[in-house]
Amino acid sequence: MAAATEVMEKPATIEKFRKDYRQPNYWIQEVQLDVRIFEGETKVEALLRCKLNDSVAEPGAELVLDGEDLRLESVEVVDADGTARGLAEGPEGYELSADGMVVRGTPKASSFDLRTRVVVEPEKNTQLSGLYFSGCMYCTQMEAEGFRRFTYFPDRPDVMAKYTRVRVEADKKKCPVLLGNGNEIDKGDCTDDASRHFAVFQDPFAKPSYLFAIVAGDLGKIEDSFTTASGNEVKLAVFSEQENVDQLGHAMVSLKKAMKWDEDRFGLEYDLDVYNVVAVNDFNMGAMENKGLNIFNTALTLARPDTATDADYERIEGVIGHEYFHNWTGNRVTCRDWFQLTLKEGLTVFRDQEFSGDMGSPAVKRIGEVRVLRARQFPEDGGPMAHPVRPESYIAMDNFYTATVYCKGAEVIRMYQTLLGREGFRKGMDLYFERHDGGAVSCDDFRAAMAEANGRDLSQFEEWYLQPGTPQVQVRSAWDAAAKTYTLTLSQKVGAGQAHLPEAKRREKPMLIPVVVGLLDRATGKELVPSKVLELTEAERSFTFEGMDAEPVPSLLRDFSAPVKMDYPYTDEDLAFLAAYDTDSFNRWEAAQSLGAKAITDQYAAEPGSEHALSPGFAEALRRIVNDRETQDLSLLAYALILPAESAILETMTPPIDPVRLHKARGAVRAAIAAALREDFQRRYEELTPAQGEKLVIDGANAGKRRLRNVCLSYLCAPKDTAATGLCAAQFDEARTRGCMTDKLAALGHLVEMPVCPEVTKALQAFYDDAKGDALVINKWFSMQAAADVPDILARVKSLMEHPDFTLKNPNRLRSVVSIFANNVGGFHRADGSGYAFMQERVLEVDKLNPQVASRLALAFSTWAKLDAGRQGLIKEQLTVLRAKEAELSKDTYEVVSKVSQAT
């Protein structure tokens, strides 16, 4: 029996490499856990059935267990005959470090049991990793490496064990609800203490430790059921704090839609008798797919028309689907190691994108995906944190839950479907599950299934998993009038997207890039050649189309068929034509975006402070869009009228770049559009204004109406004058009466940018009062103010942080102010550097509480090498401050700071 031991040193900062993967000495076949939750501490007893992995180890080999912030009470080896012997710390027993435990006193046998007893303190766990306390409940977050903060275990995804008995015990009054993975097989009152009760859970499916979960608390719920295609009835429940139960309905409806869709699209049924979802207010991520017990951030669960926007409803549907789809792509088949994270995340993001498109508008969904990709992932690929979708190394795995792994990873999966067709992709998925159900596998295994199911050589496609950076594709055209042929020559600029990276990280080989094209008649707008997949496999390749009586207009990279930067010398007339007539909805939007980007970059190059002269072609294209009464999906029109994001434009420009000048250039273009089309926007706004007493409906069609109306409102508010203030105040009041958060928030977002006046003050107070303490609504109240494009924004943000409702300990609340400010160009990039100093201070402050969140804040500095010399120097000063404190930094924040500092 070992004496209680506590190891509190900082875990070692060690870089891990994909090439060094090695199977563990022991597999864990079975796990039994006894979790007893008390006020102030929780006792965890774990019994692990260990089986020697004789392919890599001899009997008696050491057993390596991960563990952090655990108070160890005892370690015992239980031999096959049931004999238990306590181990002591030392070379014959076990050795502890800040990273875990190495058991050296293992028996020379093929299998044995190991029992450990530890104590953890969830109430003090501000990292929100492992077991922690949030509001009215104890809950867990184990991905990626939280299980080691719960008990000693080989905390790696290839160790898949059956959790045959998990007993959770807690106070009946404080924690009347007890939940765990799998099926509940027993429950009752504790015989030794009538004030306590227990529940026992059994999960019949082997799973890695990151999918383990328990919840204990005072929760309300809604219930329903779903009958699978094979006739099994599944009990469904969504839990939250008692006061939020009336906001759970949309999550339940979304879950049932997702279950049906996965059966219809991929033939995949749910495999347990129960499926539970729990909404938690304190949560680092969006949601977690624990087997049968999903744990969600409240921001992605709770919705009611007066508390959530249309965008919130759409996100909830998508994320509920995402976590459910993980049951097969992530849980039934998981990752061999964390370098393969995109195997489950890229694939499941693609699946949730397809689901959301089928539930609503595929074109609108695709536009939204690409907007996020360009605003978040392209900058990541073009900066110091660039990595392949399958990283080659990491220090803190939590840093690699990135836009590249998720969003670009989904684009990689989408390219399989583009190349193989929907039927071929399904054949590949079927073979993947047939081969690997119950296994921990790699991205190569997925690619092999796709290739073999379709009889295709996809060896070159591996380059998408190996190369960082955004590929660049140049397209040039030639029309031969005599031969009536039209030739497109595609060339990939091999390595161009990696020029900013150190030599050792570059990999410059041609990729397999599917470029979907169509050809349009310049005179009529009719489609001459429908969508065709051109496979660019070499540095340069030409494709010739015959029977062309006149030179067509090419529609390139339709539906954004590959995550690349496309270069083609479109004229403004070409783009206006495509915006009006392209038969590909995505490319109609893309053409309008290209016109907007060109206008902004032209304005950036002009004399600072000058008014923008809107080109006639661009103005006419926008006027046609805003006055389009034929397009049924009004969200398409709304997105076409929104100018491209500054972060996306910055990626197309040559450094050094003044971000504030770029911001002002975009503002000048926006103002010019607002002035030129004011009557058009006013007319459409009034047309879309709901009639008095009109019922509020939450669906795609009505969301489109509100989206277009609010885009019109944004242009009508561009002058920031008395009329704009009055219009916003009127919409705010009307939205309050109707209980419509979408319109209410849109109005408030503009009001906070108006000169201070009674209407602004009144609206802010009314919004806060209406929230009635609802955390998510108050987050919106904070966010709108932190996002305001006003000169004194830094002072406002500091004032918001002094508000009684603000806290750094809740990630949602922190992000609603600090992260929003980091994206406020005028405030963060102030010429005096005060915005950068503010962020550096927050990184250090938050790192002591929650390293995962702090490392994300540090990413705000990642574009510094692209900025003007003055701002480069100011950011370097703050990075120097952070580097000087490396010994105090968490490994999460250390990794980001060190890589960002080395940017070139």
pLDDT at 2: 42
Percent of the chain with pLDDT over 90: 96
Across the chain, how many H-helices and E-strands are there? Answer: 29, 32
Residues 727-762 have pLDDT tens digits of 999 999 999 999 999 999 999 999 999 999 999 999
Q: What is the mean pLDDT of residues 313-326?
A: 99
H runs (alpha helix) in 606-695? 616-626, 634-641, 646-650, 659-676, 678-688
Residues 887-902 have pLDDT tens digits of 999 999 999 999 999 9
Listed range (82-86, 246-250, 359-363) with the worst mean pLDDT: 82-86
DSSP 34-90: EEEEETTEEEEEEEEEEEE-TTT--TT--EEEE-SS-EEEEEEEE-TTS-EEE--BS
Please choose, from the candidates 437, 380, 421, 431, the residue with its C-alpha nearest in 3D space to the C-alpha of residue 403. Answer: 380
Residues 376-386 have pLDDT tens digits of 999 999 999 99
pLDDT at 83: 87
pLDDT at 379: 97
pLDDT at 588: 98
Res 454 pLDDT > 50: yes
Res 866 pLDDT > 50: yes
- Euclidean distance between CA atoms 120 and 210, whole angstroms: 18
pLDDT at 504: 84
- Structure tokens, 578: 């495509």
Residues 18-27 have pLDDT tens digits of 999 999 999 9
Q: What is the mean pLDDT of residues 101-112?
A: 96
Q: What is the mean pLDDT of residues 151-163?
A: 99
Q: What is the mean pLDDT of residues 65-83?
A: 94
Pairing label, strands 183-190, 193-202: antiparallel
Q: Which residues contact 605 (CB under 8 A, 6 or more apart)?
A: none
Q: What is the mean pLDDT of residues 715-725?
A: 97
In 824-850, which positions are buried (b, 16+ CB within 10 angstroms) versus exposed (e)? bbbbbbbeebebbbbbbebbbebbebb
In 300-338, which positions are buried (b, 16+ CB within 10 angstroms) versus exposed (e)? bbbbbbbbbbbebbbbbbbbbbbbbbbbbbbbbbbbbbb
pLDDT at 494: 82
Q: Which band of pLDDT confidence, cut at 50, 70 and 90, is reported for residue 4?
A: low
Give Cα separations from 27 to 52, 344, 406, 412 (angstroms): 6, 22, 29, 32
Q: Is-above-0.75 flag for pTM?
A: yes
Residues 287-309 have pLDDT tens digits of 999 999 999 999 999 999 999 99
Q: Which band of pLDDT confidence, cut at 50, 70 and 90, is reported for residue 501?
A: confident
Give burial (CB, 10 Å; 0-12/13-18/19+) of 569.
exposed
Q: Which residue has the tokens 């805003």?
A: 626
Contact of 826 with 660, CB cutoff 8 Å? yes
Q: Which band of pLDDT confidence, cut at 50, 70 and 90, is reported for residue 3?
A: very low
Report the topology of domain 472-567.
Immunoglobulin-like (2.60.40)
Domain layout of the chain by residue ranges: 27-218, 333-466, 472-567, 783-903
Q: What is the mean pLDDT of residues 424-437?
A: 99
| Statement: 783-903 belongs to CATH 1.25.50.10 | yes
pLDDT at 79: 82
Instruction: Check for a shared fold between 472-567 and 783-903.
Output: no
CATH number of 27-218: 2.60.40.1730
Is the peptide bond between 656 and the residue preceding it cis, with omega within 30 degrees of 0?
Answer: yes
Residues 802-835 have pLDDT tens digits of 999 999 999 999 999 999 999 999 999 999 999 9
Q: What is the mean pLDDT of residues 789-806?
A: 99
Q: Which band of pLDDT confidence, cut at 50, 70 and 90, is reported for residue 6?
A: low
Share the mean pLDDT of the chain.
97
Task: Based on the residue annotation, tell me whether 323 is a catalytic residue of this protein.
Answer: yes
Residues 46-62 have pLDDT tens digits of 999 999 999 999 999 99
Q: For 333-466, which CATH superfamily applies?
A: Neutral Protease Domain 2 (1.10.390.10)
Residues 620-663 have pLDDT tens digits of 999 999 999 999 999 999 999 999 999 999 999 999 999 999 99
Residues 118-127 have pLDDT tens digits of 999 999 999 9
323, 463, 646, 759: the active-site residue: 323
